[in-house]
Amino acid sequence: EDQVTQSPEALRLQEGESSSLNCSYTVSGLRGLFWYRQDPGKGPEFLFTLYSAGEEKEKERLKATLTKKESFLHITAPKPEDSATYLCALSRTSYDKVIFGPGTSLSVIP
């Protein structure tokens, strides 16, 4: 069965302290791996799509990378406004449903 897991469940960082979030997946053929940000009480906001191992995408202080079994979201010199839950998701085909992981709750302390 297709599955997405994320670690850690929660992460507290000091402002400026870089770190990485992990997304591990098992799927019978990957179409795309997606990262979302979700603020409390709001719907998720799309960040990145990754298609193949070795691919990288960047946006401000965030960089997402992909291997055959994992994806990482690297956060460089985070700021308090980066505090949110980060969700990883995947699809098998362009017509398939999207499966979300449980998320990592990130808190950045000033």
**Binding string, 47-86, against other proteins, x = CB under 8 A?**
--x-------------------------------------
- By CB under 8 A, the count of residues binding other proteins is 28
- Indicate the residue among 49 and 76 with the shorter CB distance to other proteins: 49
Give yes or no for residue 1 binding other proteins (CB under 8 A). no
Residue 110: asked if its preceding bond is cis (omega within 30°), the reply is: no
**Is residue 94 involved in binding other proteins (CB under 8 A)?**
yes
Whose CA is closest to 106, among 9, 1, 26?
Answer: 9
What are the Cα distances from residue 49, in Å, to 17, 23, 61, 109?
25, 13, 16, 28
d(CA 62, CA 48) in angstroms, rounded, equals 10
Kindly list the residues in this chain that would bind other proteins in the complex (CB under 8 A). Answer: 4, 9, 31-34, 41-46, 49, 87, 89-91, 93-103
